[in-house]
Amino acid sequence: MHPPIFGHSFAVLVAPILLSVLAFNLLNRKRANARRNAEDADAGASSSSTAPTGDHYEVFLNFRGEDTRNGFTSHLYDRLVAAGIDVFLDDNKLRQGEEIGLDLLEAIKNSKILIPILSENYCESKWCLDELIQIMECKNNKTGHIVLPIFYKVNPRDVRHQSGSFGGAFLKRERPFNPATLKKYKQALTAVGKLKGREADGNEAELVNTIVQTVSNKLKKDYDLLIPKNLVGIDNLWRRL
């Protein structure tokens, strides 16, 4: 008697084809989602002047360059990109004049996950504080943005209360600001300091891996792949790939 044609060997034979189809469908689904986001942004622009436009990203990194650009932030950026995640990294090209530009505001609005990296001298940068205001506004507006703060060698309590060495940097920036702007900065810092985040005061390589895994897990919720349970042998082959 001949062995059944729809046995284990047949599943192994068709598995690569199925995986290719699943990968193709995943890519198309992601592209379709991006197109829908762009279409929603265009539609919203006709009814609201604050609707996001321009390029869309999965992660926006907000940080003070002199503190972390060539260290922690660059390692985090490289690992996120290596994981296939679209990341906006402020390279100063969009910074013109004293006020935050529309391109930067749109990059924040059009990113799914916003990661402020709060370092000791973070508050010495007006740009960091302006971006943080927009980040917290996105969260407060309940537009689906996720804010994951990184407390880089600073205590979250000091961020909340603008105290300690972190508060000292903030005091240096108080004088040039008018009371209304200063109030917004304090509100944004207090709010972000209350969020659950990650503290960087140890093994940075492990922390970077943890952050990348957290970001990946949150993004995967939008792109789940459903594997039919009745395919013989496919689960084991998927795990081996």
Residues taking part in catalysis: 131
Largest CA distance in the chain: 90
How far is it, in rounded angstroms, from Cα 171 to Cα 184? Answer: 15
DSSP designation for 121? T
Distance CA 8, CA 27 (A): 28
- Give the type of residue at 157: R
**Cβ neighbours around 111 below 10 Å, total:** 25
Sign of CA dihedral 201, 202, 205, 209: negative
Q: 3-state class of 9 per DSSP?
A: helix
**Could you tell me where the DSSP H helices lie in 46-91?**
65-68, 72-82
